[in-house]
């Protein structure tokens, strides 16, 4: 049994989607980051960075923060969504690209373009450039491929998809990125994605371009 500490954000949804894909038994513990629940001592004992998501494995007592580490641990210990041989390295390449580029740049875009629009035009211009750049990278990678690692759906897709699901917040028009759009819709149809998206509670339907 896994305890999942999470909230209704892209980083949190990566883990609930992965757990649903694995058919894993888990219990959700909401950490309302809009009310600073991430700074409660009990949560900080599990996630010293004070950021969701985090997990505790009840069997081994292992605790983990950082969505990339959590998905890698689940993939390795369950033997799923991390393909063998060369696709393994492409999976890790795109997993780390998500951690280092897609998440941080789109996260900045949410702050500037959604929550502070009209305040700093230069910051908005830079954010729009970076949004176009990461979507351009995704489009190039997904042209002629069903999934980021290649043929197989993997943790690389589970890492990236929840960030793309906020395309409206990022002012990203998916009709400009047809391969990303097809990939996004292909993954949105998965029952585990539809279940994991609404954890720890329902906010809105999965946005459809």
Ligand X SMILES: N[C@@H](CCC(=O)N[C@@H](CS)C(=O)NCC(=O)O)C(=O)O
Question: Per CB under 6 A, which region of 5-13, 72-80, 108-116, 142-150 contacts ligand X?
Answer: 5-13
Give the helix ranges, DSSP H, for the chain: 10-22, 41-46, 67-78, 85-97, 103-109, 121-142, 155-164, 178-188, 191-196
- 195: tokens are 């279940």
Nearer to ligand X, 51 or 141 (CB): 51
Our finding on whether 170 is near ligand X (CB under 6 A) is no
CB of 176: closest distance to ligand X in angstroms? Answer: 25
Out of 17, 19, 28, 52, name the contact with ligand X by CB under 6 A. Answer: 52
- Using only C-alpha atoms, the chain has a radius of gyration, in whole angstroms, of 17
- Out of 16, 67, 91, 165, the only residue in the binding site for ligand X (CB under 6 A) is 67
As measured in angstroms, the least distance from the Cβ of 51 to ligand X is 3
* Residue 91 within binding range of ligand X, rule CB under 6 A: no
Place of tokens 């004070």: 50
How far is Cα 181 from Cα 31, in angstroms, rounded to an integer?
A: 31
């Amino acid at each position: 049994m896994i305890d999942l500490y999470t909230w209704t954000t892209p980083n949190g949804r990566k883990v609930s989607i992965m757990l649903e894909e694995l058919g894993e038994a888990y219990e959700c513990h909401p950490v309302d980051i809009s009310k600073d629940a991430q700074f409660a001592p009990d949560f900080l004992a599990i996630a010293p960075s004070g950021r969701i998501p985090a997990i505790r494995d009840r069997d081994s007592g292992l605790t983990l923060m950082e969505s990339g580490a959590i998905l890698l641990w689940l993939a390795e210990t369950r033997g799923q969504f991390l393909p063998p041989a060369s696709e393994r390295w492409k999976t890790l390449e795109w997993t780390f690209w998500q951690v280092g580029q897609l998440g941080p740049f789109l996260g900045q875009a949410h702050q500037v373009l959604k929550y502070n629009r009209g305040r700093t035009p230069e910051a908005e211009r830079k954010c729009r450039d970076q949004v176009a750049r990461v979507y351009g990278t995704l489009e190039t990678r997904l042209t002629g491929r069903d999934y980021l690692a290649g043929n197989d759906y993997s943790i690389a897709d589970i890492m990236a998809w929840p960030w793309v699901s906020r395309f409206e917040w990022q002012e990203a028009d998916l009709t400009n990125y047809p391969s990303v759009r097809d990939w996004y819709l292909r993954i949105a149809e998965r029952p585990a994605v539809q279940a994991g998206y609404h954890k720890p509670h329902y906010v809105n339907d999965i946005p459809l371009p």
